[in-house]
Amino acid sequence: MYIIGEEEIEAIAGAIRSEELFRYGQGEACATFEKNYAAYLNAPHFRLTCSGSYALHAALVGLGVGPGDEVIVPAHTYMATATSVLSVGAIPVVVDVDESITMDPDALDDAVGPRTKAVIPVHIWGAACNMDAIMAVAAKHGLLVLEDTCQGIGGGYEGRMLGTIGHAGAYSFNYYKNISSGEGGGVVTGDAEIDKRVACAIDPCHYYWTGRTGDFVPFASNGGRASELLGAVLNVQLGRLPAMMTAMRAEKKGVLQATRHLDNLGLRATPMNSPDHECGTHVMYTMPTADDAERFVEIMPAVIAGKTGRHTYTEWDQVLMGEGAGHPALNPYAMPANEACRREVTKDMLPRSLDILARTVMVPTDPRHDDAHVERTVQSIEAAARYAFGAMGRDEARAAAAALGNAEKIDPRKYDSDVGAYGLDS
């Protein structure tokens, strides 16, 4: 969450004062957000739900993915991308990322097998995937495409909003996302039939309140309905989003321009897909070696992509252990329908991704940063780069970077967590 304040407080207070906290036939906040966000995305169908994880689950249900199917996911994403596949009884197949730290389209092409039904490209850390290439591979193999846009809210790809390019897109509005209601999620699609299934996955009883439509046959599902309080906050947050995107993109472009001369030392900007349209939430650099990255973050408040503690496939404990459900009879890894699927995931299976992620450093932007702060950021990046590549001593670099001081603090909860909590082999 970047900005929240009195407007959100008033929106919540208004919802409470109305005493209409149920979204069907009572309050209007959720319905208003669905309408306005669909318009923002230039998409015909958007459904609000309780979380990004549930949005991914509902989208996969909407696409008809289930037992006997494989779904390809990237090596670097929050674990919910993979566990959502398990939640519908299918098997996640993990593939390499490229230096953009998003799914490698060539790796996707190579990984498609006879059981592959869908792919989930992830717009991680606000960076857009190479959607033209991914959609071409999907068309070649007849795959369904679900965009995981949980970390890409407000971003685009070559003039189209992230999440609207594939068959469906999933969003998260939890605390760490570009706009937030604490928790929350949603699904977008351009297909009316997929939308009906998504609505039933989110709330199998919704037709009690909205009426039955056509010949659609409802099915059982868990409830993931959003609350009016969530909708009230999101309506205010959505109004903040365009200006926030403009500010972060400008900060990222300014920092990259001001540090371009450090290419000569070895500080190379991470390749970007559609840089004019992505979110701009992080300035990323791809270092020559993992040791260079470690030295860089000694000086600069930055994060190594491969060391967040929970966003790389080597940290997805349930997937590594094959624990795909709370009851063994529901575990996709043990289902007869999945016997022909590729079910094994090992920590050493994608060394190229691990190398790239160990060499990628991420400096967060913020729409509240002023010009003076950006200037201090550039100064600190330069000092960190000179130290990383041996052109400056540690003490000198720390002194040169001291101007940043406490102005930039990285919330460790967003990036860091305990690794190997279950004692899995490294």
**132 in the same domain as 57:** yes
Q: How confident is the model at residue 214 (pLDDT cuts 50, 70, 90)?
A: confident
Q: How confident is the model at residue 211 (pLDDT cuts 50, 70, 90)?
A: confident
State the chain's mean pLDDT as an integer. Answer: 93
**61 in the same domain as 196:** yes
Q: How confident is the model at residue 425 (pLDDT cuts 50, 70, 90)?
A: very low
**119 in the same domain as 245:** no
Q: How confident is the model at residue 407 (pLDDT cuts 50, 70, 90)?
A: very low
- Asked if pLDDT for residue 31 goes beyond 80, the answer is yes
**360 in the same domain as 260:** yes
pLDDT at residue 206, as a whole number: 80
Q: How confident is the model at residue 403 (pLDDT cuts 50, 70, 90)?
A: low
Q: Which residues, listed in sequence order, are joined to residue 72 by a DSSP beta bridge?
A: 93, 119
Q: How confident is the model at residue 426 (pLDDT cuts 50, 70, 90)?
A: very low
pLDDT at residue 209, as a whole number: 79
Q: How confident is the model at residue 25 (pLDDT cuts 50, 70, 90)?
A: confident
**230 in the same domain as 256:** no
pLDDT digits (tens, 9 = 90+) for 221-278: 998 999 999 999 999 999 999 999 999 999 999 999 999 999 999 999 999 999 999 9
pLDDT digits (tens, 9 = 90+) for 65-89: 999 999 999 999 999 999 999 999 9
**127 in the same domain as 141:** yes
pLDDT at residue 79, as a whole number: 97
pLDDT at residue 423, as a whole number: 29
Q: How confident is the model at residue 413 (pLDDT cuts 50, 70, 90)?
A: low
- Asked if pLDDT for residue 321 goes beyond 90, the answer is yes
**264 in the same domain as 177:** no
Domain-embedded: residue 372: yes
**122 in the same domain as 181:** yes
**219 in the same domain as 266:** no
**223 in the same domain as 361:** no
**76 in the same domain as 221:** yes
Q: How confident is the model at residue 195 (pLDDT cuts 50, 70, 90)?
A: very high
Domain-embedded: residue 303: yes
pLDDT at residue 226, as a whole number: 96
Q: What is the CATH number of the domain that holds 125?
A: 3.40.640.10
Q: What is the CATH number of the domain that holds 274?
A: 3.90.1150.10
Among 221, 236, 251, the domain boundary falls at 236
pLDDT digits (tens, 9 = 90+) for 331-344: 999 999 999 999 99
pTM for the structure as a whole? 0.95
Q: How confident is the model at residue 418 (pLDDT cuts 50, 70, 90)?
A: very low
- Please count the structural domains in the chain: 2
pLDDT at residue 96, as a whole number: 98
Q: Percent of the chain scored above 70 by pLDDT?
A: 94
pLDDT digits (tens, 9 = 90+) for 113-140: 999 999 999 999 999 999 999 999 999 9
Q: Decide which of 207 and 358 is more confident.
A: 358
pLDDT digits (tens, 9 = 90+) for 361-397: 999 999 999 999 999 999 999 999 999 999 999 999 9
pLDDT at residue 210, as a whole number: 78
Range of the domain at 192: 6-236
**245 in the same domain as 232:** no
Domain-embedded: residue 328: no
